[in-house]
Chain A
Amino acid sequence: MKDQQPSRVDQMLNLLVEEIEERMRVGKGPPPAAESLAVEAPIPPVVPQAEPVKSVEAVAEPEVEVVEPVEAVAGFEEMELEERWQPPAPAVSPKAARLMGRLALGLLVAIVLINIPLNRHGTTLATAMPDSAALIIRDGLVVKEEDDEEIYVLQDGKLRWISSLDAFEHFGFTWGDVHIVEDGFLDQFEKGTPLHVLLKCRDSPHIYRLEGGVKRWIVDIAAFEAEGHVWEDVQFVSCGHLRDLPDGETIPPGHGPPPQP
């Protein structure tokens, strides 16, 4: 038993010396073998190995000449390793790569989900929030307050009310253009003249202005021009459609019942 013990220690010491020699040979750059060793033994080998060396001294007195150089080398190694020891790289497992793949897949699914239109206006989860804080105030901006039906367009810094659905379509707006803002947000803007659409049928000389669902007869050219209208705003519709629209006050008011187209 006592005979076998020194030989085991010898073996350990030989291994240690070989390792130290190899490291000294390689110099400062960490060899690949050292890396794999570091992975297996993450704690610097200096401290735990001090004890076995002492025990060798105590048990195997005659082998002092073997132990002493090892102690010397171990001391040197201690200094060396303290200088160049770095935390060992953890064993590379594919966990992070797998996690990355899953994260990418999850994101892809999320992107698809938040871009699915939720209603016929094409509102998606990503664009569902009232976006007054997100607006860039510029000409052509179409806005509507949350609890108000009126739609406005910003032109020359003024809000112009779009007076009817026909006007909305006539001026080329779509529901996708409309930005819903919090109530009261539009109070900060000056109001400009409303945007109207003018209706006329081919069999009648009269021109009507569609306003809030009723047609208002424009009595003459002077009134037409005084209201700031231009011929490009006149939209041709069927006379039947015009007749079906309820009558409103004439422009200017007080000209009696309007003629029917």
Chain B
Amino acid sequence: MNNLAIIETILRNRHRFFTEIRGGVELGQKMRAMLVSSMAFLALYGAVMGSTHSLWQALSSAAKLPLLFLATLVVCSPTLYFFNLIFGSDQSLTQNFALILTAITVTAVLLLSFAPIVLFFLLTTSHYQFFKLLNVGVFTVAGVVGVTFLSQGMRVVSASGKEGAQARRNVLRLWILIYAFVGSQMAWTLRPFIGAPSMKFELFRQLGGNFYANIFASIGEILGFFTVR
């Protein structure tokens, strides 16, 4: 299966795609295609983000951004699978994996579509905090659309097991929150992705602080309340 054609199928005819996942049709091929295309897109977006600092940062972010999504997928998917199982789902782990991968693929496609805008701001503004918040915004939008796809997919794939459907929906909502928390903490652990302009290139930065406090500080600096030191 063409790696890019599968994305077109997801975007244009998602109901058929999810029905095929439910039926277990070519799951391996689908997952491989989604994995290849989403990792390529994420790497490209990572490279755009890192280019604001240096070539090394661009290469590092190109490698780290796919890693971030993969690691979050690996960390979070067992929770969703086992909780669904408890509440009467008949999905397999592979189907679960494929659904989450669908969400990641949609997120990656949206990130790719945002990349020219981010590139434009990279070349026309040099405000680090603004650039950081711009990327947070882009990731938020892409992530929300991604998990919306996951939610729709779950509904289709679980359609056969009516028992505990409401409970599974609640589990999914809770899981999406966990996914967001794990993802943001993972991003914080793997930082820098953009690279502060006054600092030398570093593959990983020392741990300390947290994602949310940093975003709050960036907003504060942009609004002129204080300077991040």
Query: Do residues B113 and A92 form an inter-chain contact, with CB atoms below 8 A?
Result: no
Tell yes or no: B122 within 8 A of A by CB.
yes
Query: Do residues B198 and A127 form an inter-chain contact, with CB atoms below 8 A?
Result: no
Residue of B nearest to A125 (CB): B123
Chain-A contact segment, one of B51-59, B67-75, B77-85, B134-142: B51-59
Tell yes or no: B178 within 8 A of A by CB.
no
Complex Cα spacing A111 to B122, Å: 11
Query: Do residues B197 and A135 form an inter-chain contact, with CB atoms below 8 A?
Result: yes
Picked from B13, B48, B53, B197, the residue with its CB within 8 Å of the CB of A107 is B48
Which residues, 16 to 42 on A, are CB-close (under 8 Å) to B?
Answer: 30, 32, 35
Query: Do residues A111 and B126 form an inter-chain contact, with CB atoms below 8 A?
Result: no
Residue of A nearest to B197 (CB): A134
Tell whether A114 pairs with B51 under 8 Å between CB atoms, given A97-B7, A134-B126: yes
* Chain B neighbourhood of A179, CB < 8 A: 197-198
Tell yes or no: A96 within 8 A of B by CB.
yes
Tell yes or no: B173 within 8 A of A by CB.
no
Query: Do residues B198 and A115 form an inter-chain contact, with CB atoms below 8 A?
Result: no
Tell whether A92 pairs with B40 under 8 Å between CB atoms, given A135-B198, A137-B227: no
Tell whether A137 pairs with B229 under 8 Å between CB atoms, given A90-B12, A97-B8, A107-B115: yes
Chain-B contact segment, one of A98-106, A202-210, A244-252: A98-106
Tell yes or no: B179 within 8 A of A by CB.
no
* Chain B neighbourhood of A108, CB < 8 A: 44, 47
| Interface footprint category on A | 35 or more
Picked from B15, B52, B119, B128, the residue with its CB within 8 Å of the CB of A110 is B119
Picked from B4, B13, B109, the residue with its CB within 8 Å of the CB of A92 is B13
Tell whether A101 pairs with B229 under 8 Å between CB atoms, given A126-B51, A134-B128: no
Complex Cα spacing A107 to B48, Å: 8
A119 to B: closest C-beta gap in Å: 14
Which residues, 60 to 104 on A, are CB-close (under 8 Å) to B?
Answer: 89-90, 92, 94, 96-98, 100-101, 103-104
Tell yes or no: B16 within 8 A of A by CB.
yes
Residue of B nearest to A114 (CB): B51
Query: Do residues A133 and B127 form an inter-chain contact, with CB atoms below 8 A?
Result: yes
* Chain B neighbourhood of A90, CB < 8 A: 12
Residue of B nearest to A97 (CB): B4
* Chain B neighbourhood of A127, CB < 8 A: 52-54, 197
A93 to B: closest C-beta gap in Å: 8
* Chain A neighbourhood of B51, CB < 8 A: 111, 114-115, 124, 126
Tell yes or no: B223 within 8 A of A by CB.
no
Tell yes or no: B166 within 8 A of A by CB.
no
Query: Do residues B198 and A136 form an inter-chain contact, with CB atoms below 8 A?
Result: yes
Complex Cα spacing A101 to B112, Å: 10
B211 to A: closest C-beta gap in Å: 17
Query: Do residues B199 and A136 form an inter-chain contact, with CB atoms below 8 A?
Result: yes
Residue of B nearest to A110 (CB): B119
Q: List 5 A-B contacts (CB under 8 A).
A: A100-B8, A107-B48, A126-B123, A136-B197, A137-B228
Chain A positions within 8 Å of B, measured between CB atoms, are: 30, 32, 35, 89-90, 92, 94, 96-98, 100-101, 103-104, 107-108, 110-111, 114-115, 124-127, 129-131, 133-138, 141, 177, 179
Extra A-B contacts (12), CB below 8 Å, given A92-B12, A111-B48:
A94-B5, A94-B8, A96-B12, A97-B2, A97-B4, A104-B112, A114-B51, A114-B119, A133-B126, A135-B128, A137-B198, A138-B199
